[in-house]
Amino acid sequence: MAKFYLDALGCKVNSYEASLLRGPLEAMGHTETGDPKEADYIFLNACAVTSRSVQKGRQRIRKLRRLAPKARLLVSGCFVAAAPGLAKELGADDEIATYGRNEALSRLLGLPLEKTAPYRREAYEEPENPSEQKDLRAYLKVQDGCSRFCSYCLIPYLRGPSRSRDPEHALHEAEILSQTHPEIVVTGIEVAFYGRDLGDGSYRLSSLLSDILKRCPDLKRLRLSSLEEGAIDEKMLELFAHEPRLASHVHLALQAGSDHVLSLMGRPYDRAKFLAVANRIKAARPGIALTTDVIVGFPGETEEDFEDTLDLCRAVGFAEMHVFPYSSRPGTKATRMKEKEVPFAVKKEREKRLLALSKELRADFEKRNYGVEKEIILEECEAKSGCWLGHSSDYLLIKASGAGLKRGDVVKVAYSPENQAD
């Protein structure tokens, strides 16, 4: 039988979607390889959220084709939706965008496609098989698309409108994953929209999280991927207050801390509302790690606007920040703001300052947790030191040692500079 290689660039959704092919391929007798040079079939799910992401996708396609010139290469995802035909120009045998994914297996294997009803972009495309994932931390996709249309973002055009997965389908897969994975990460393109298109809209993300925890009593930890402030309702706050299995970590996307820039971006909140939501989360779960994304150098951003962003990040006290210099994405509203573009040198200087603040806030967060007992799930053993590595509920990477430890064990350790992983 043949060997296959699965690859994904970008968000957690891309990793999840790639994993959907593992089970069917193995059921057909094919074996997975970690070396693309050995592969007969290669599946790459690639990103296009930034110009840097597109460049990485181009490079990966060329590399995979160079390493495996005879393999059948299928490229999928937002990369294809953003530039149809480009993957084939770069060496792929076939490509498929962000919908009609149940055809991916046949497309990868070069099999004739059955005639099926056209896929409707307004409906969630339920996979034919549950995902097969190797990592201890499993991803559960519950939503696709986005209906926000922020002025800098292509995703609503590439993924279509927000579609929620049927709760029973999501819960069924969660039950399956919880049997072999101690931690599940609920993910989607914009999970804050979950449930708005289901029935009367009353069943929201917090409802799904509550039901997952009830249906999966042996699950050690349930984690959220990136969120918008709109997903934080009263039921979500209740879960943070009373459900310890819900991870003490929320990646709450900020993007900018200036009301002026937030308005230009088309974000649905101002700095006061964002800070109020962050404070409510921290009140419900003291010590929680809040992390975020920030775009610097958005068209029209002044030095005063940037100072507002710095001030808000300090006020929230983020545990970590992912910083992205603004890059123009053709087809978005922001591309029409060329007269307001921030010079490259200014963007880089602001990026440097924000990264310095991120480093400072990270150090403060770590110091506040020294001496605090943490429950970690052991993920891998360092060959050199013999120590195990695992993440805590608040996503600190911590070392642990002891006789008889194994992958997947849950252990408690007091966090300290000595067991702090690099």
pLDDT in tens, 83-107: 999 999 999 999 998 888 888 889 8
Sheet arrangement for strand 289-296: 249-251, 289-296, 320-325
Eight-class DSSP state of 399? E
Rounded to an integer, what distance in angstroms lies between the CA atom of residue 124 and that of residue 162? 8
CATH number of 373-414: 2.40.50
Same fold across 3-109 and 373-414:
no
Residue 304 has pLDDT above 60, yes or no: yes
Percent pLDDT > 70 in the chain is: 98
Per-residue pLDDT, averaged over 157-161, amounts to 91
Average pLDDT over residues 147-175: 94
- Average pLDDT of the residues in 119-141: 85
Tell me the CATH number for domain 3-109. 3.40.50.2300
pLDDT for 98: 87
Mean pLDDT of 33-60: 94
> Count of CB atoms within 10 A of residue 389's CB?
18
Measure the CA–CA gap between 41 and 64, rounded to whole angstroms.
11
Q: Is 126 helix (H, G, I), strand (E, B) or coil?
A: coil
Please tell me the predicted confidence (pLDDT) of residue 121.
60
| Integer angstrom CA distances of residue 186 from 208, 209, 210, 247 | 10, 8, 12, 11
Identify the weakest region by mean pLDDT among 223-232, 259-268, 387-396. 223-232
The whole-angstrom separation of Cα 207 and Cα 93 is 42
Q: What is the pLDDT of residue 270?
A: 97
Q: What are phi and psi of 301, to 5 degrees?
A: -70, 120
Handedness of CA 163, 167, 172, 177 (dihedral sign): positive
Q: pLDDT tens digits, residue range 189-240?
A: 999 999 999 999 999 999 999 999 999 999 999 999 888 898 999 999 999 9
Alpha-carbon gap, residue 203 to 201, rounded angstroms = 6
Tell me the percentage of the chain whose pLDDT exceeds 90: 83
18 pLDDT more than 70: yes
Q: The tokens of 180 are what? A: 């072999």
| Mean pLDDT computed over 252-271 | 97
> Above 90 in pLDDT, residue 409?
yes
Q: Are 43 and 5 in contact (CB under 8 A)?
A: yes
What pLDDT shows up at residue 114? 64
Amino acid at 173: E
Tokens of 98: 């962000």
Let me know how many helices (H) and strands (E) the chain has, helices first. 14, 16
Q: What residue spans define the domains of the chain?
A: 3-109, 137-369, 373-414
Break the chain down into helix, strand, coil percent, rounded to 5.
40, 20, 40
Q: For the chain, how far is it from start to end, CA to CA, in angstroms?
A: 41
What confidence tier does 276 reach under pLDDT thresholds 50, 70, 90? very high
* 185 has pLDDT over 80: yes
Class of the CATH-defined domain 137-369: alpha beta
d(CA 195, CA 100): 22
Mean pLDDT of the chain: 93
DSSP conformational letter for 248: S
